[in-house]
A and B are shown apart, each in its own frame.
Chain A
Amino acid sequence: MSKISRRKLITTGLTAAAGVAGLGVAAGLAQKYGLVPPDHGGIWGLGETLTYASQRLLTRHSLAREFPRSQISKPPFPNEVEPPTEEFKRLQAGRFADWRLSVNGMVSRPATFSIDQLKSYPSHSQITMLQCEEGWSYIAEWIGVPLSHVLQVVGVLPQAKYVAYFSIEPDTWESIDMADALHPQTFLTYGMNGDALPVAHGGPLRLRLPRQVGYKSVKFITHLTVTDSMKSFGKGLGSAAPEFGYAWYAGI
């Protein structure tokens, strides 16, 4: 084996030092531009950060693929849902007239909306794919109001970084960054395939997010909070998913 020369040692040392410094600068920049996910700790943190950062840089404004009406899956596949709570049964008996979506946090005008109020805003629709991390998928027409519209109504403060959203189902909540929250295809969905959104698909209100896999499209939404940090929510990992071992960012 050849002896390691002094020059080689110095070059290697300098390269390593430059590498470490470069990584430090990269980490600082990533933090500054919001490219670090809330679940960046632990052994999977590096992979998650690389995935989230690169996808966020590539896809900030890109639109999920939309499909012709002829490609709508008939019937759409309803995934299993937890047995409804007593409160849900009561609201369902009243045809969801008493269903409320409350919005608070970093907003100038906290508000509460009924489904009818949400329907009074300009209605949008998209024919997009819902794909589950398990491997199955279907295409449906989703009808609702873009989340950005509701955020505009309540007046999001400029320091906002995340929107957390909560289901009527216990321990079911997620959050997204502002790029996804303000994205034109992120809907508060109340309709599907020309009809009301069936309970099996999250009716009366589901947050629909076609650029991430299905578990981010939470069913039975009752509450939104706008915040600049996810640290005080649950275990501080961004959503319930990482607490069950699933990634916060699910764009892949």
Chain B
Amino acid sequence: MISHPRFYWGETGNDLTPTLFKLPIPASRHLVPTGYGYVLPDQNGWSRYLHFQAAWVVILTGLLYAIFGFLTGHFRKNLLPGNADLSWRALTKAVAGHLRFERPSEAEAWSYNLLQRLAYLFVIFVLFPLVIWTGLAMSPAFVSAFPATVNVLGGQQSARTLHFFVSLALVLFLLIHVGMVWFAGFKSRVWAMIAGRVSRP
């Protein structure tokens, strides 16, 4: 991203073609016209190694998590909202409550509230699959075997742009998630995540 902070739509894009948008940051390559008079040091080698190794961690742990989530009924029992909760009224009430920064009720220590459930389902079943898909759609070797993965996205540069926005959404989720954990009681919530159970107060 820092080596080429320009984004495009379609198959191709480079310094000679128009952009979809540019990030207002300096680049680590001096051919890129950024408007800055200096070039950042190149960090792409180890970043790429780290990125792809981390991708394997995400895929392998994610697969385990998804398999066990289905087998144990975790998704159905703990994440799927009840039918009654999916009405507009329940939804607006939950959003309004959050916007007023109301303290969560005692019951919420034991089960996820509606917005949590929707956010978690979105992250698990939309954002993570999308970030993996758009990532693979940029791999020249992978798309040689599965060309449809990039063709349906509109091209390799479209995949890169989508990958950027989906990863941005994941970072945003992480920040809000950690913020809410802090708000709800950092120690007890983090312990609940690690141990899988809540100690009674």
Would you call A252 and B139 a contact (CB within 8 A)? yes
Pick the most buried of B15, B16, B54, B55: most chain A CB atoms within 10 A of its CB. Answer: B16
Residues on the B chain within 8 Å of A138, using CB: 12, 14
Q: Which residue of A lies closest to B147 (CB)?
A: A65
Would you call B147 and A212 a contact (CB within 8 A)? no
State how many angstroms separate the Cβ of B11 from the closest Cβ of chain A.
6
Residues on the A chain within 8 Å of B201, using CB: none
Residues on the A chain within 8 Å of B140, using CB: 64, 129, 131, 210-213, 251-252
- The contact size tier of chain B is 35 or more
Q: How far is the CA of A73 from the CA of B55 in the complex (A)?
A: 31
Residues on the A chain within 8 Å of B160, using CB: 135
A residues 48-74 with Cβ under 8 Å of B? 48, 50-51, 55, 58-59, 62-65, 67, 71, 73
The size of the chain A interface, using a CB distance under 8 A, is 40
Pick the most buried of B6, B45, B141: most chain A CB atoms within 10 A of its CB. Answer: B141
- A121 CB within 8 Å of chain B: no
Residues on the A chain within 8 Å of B48, using CB: 133, 246-247
- A136 CB within 8 Å of chain B: yes
Would you call B13 and A137 a contact (CB within 8 A)? yes
Would you call A62 and B15 a contact (CB within 8 A)? no
Would you call A65 and B157 a contact (CB within 8 A)? no
Would you call B3 and A77 a contact (CB within 8 A)? no
- A232 CB within 8 Å of chain B: no
Q: How far is the CA of A47 from the CA of B48 in the complex (A)?
A: 11
Q: How far is the CA of A137 from the CA of B8 in the complex (A)?
A: 10
B residues 1-58 with Cβ under 8 Å of A? 1, 3-4, 6, 11-17, 29, 31, 44-46, 48-50, 52-56
The answer, among B53, B139, B141, B157, for a CB contact under 8 Å with A44, is B53
- A139 CB within 8 Å of chain B: yes
The answer, among B11, B56, B143, for a CB contact under 8 Å with A137, is B11
Q: How far is the CA of A67 from the CA of B54 in the complex (A)?
A: 32
Residues on the B chain within 8 Å of A62, using CB: 141, 144-145
Would you call B29 and A134 a contact (CB within 8 A)? yes
Would you call A47 and B142 a contact (CB within 8 A)? no
Interface string of B144-159 (1 = CB under 8 A from A): 1101001100001100
Would you call B11 and A211 a contact (CB within 8 A)? no
Q: Assess A131 versus B16: contact at CB under 8 Å? Given A58-B142, A62-B145.
A: no
